[in-house]
Amino acid sequence: MKTVKYDVTYTEPASRVELLVRFVWSIPSYIVMVVLGFIMCIAWAFQWLCILFMGKRNKMLHDWLMKAMEYQVKWQTYFYLLTDERNPLLPED
């Protein structure tokens, strides 16, 4: 099993305008994340059934779930003020 390491650098200066932009940007990103979360639940159930009946993981479902989870982590680090790196509106390939 691999360990996950995510490094976030600390920067002192902060802007009130950036805080407002961050909040406004997070609203459409959150809507995308909710839709992705719903689809992730369905994909996770299909992945579980593939493992149960075929004894192996589906590569396409695995890759898609990883991309969706990566998007959620990027959104959370941006929204919770851990990084200034803005996440894209839609998940990247």
- With contact defined as beta carbons under 8 Å apart, do 73 and 6 qualify? yes
What is the DSSP secondary structure assignment for residue 60, as one 8-state letter?
H
* Cα angle value 35/36/38 (rounded, 5°): 65
pLDDT in tens, the chain (93 residues): 788 787 777 777 777 888 888 888 888 988 998 999 999 999 999 999 999 999 999 999 999 999 999 888 888 888 888 777 887 877 776
Instruction: With CA atoms as reference, report the closest residue to 78 among 31, 16, 33, 26.
Output: 26
Q: What is the pLDDT of residue 44?
A: 94
Nearest to 36 by CA among 87, 72, 2: 72
Per-domain boundaries in the chain: 16-79
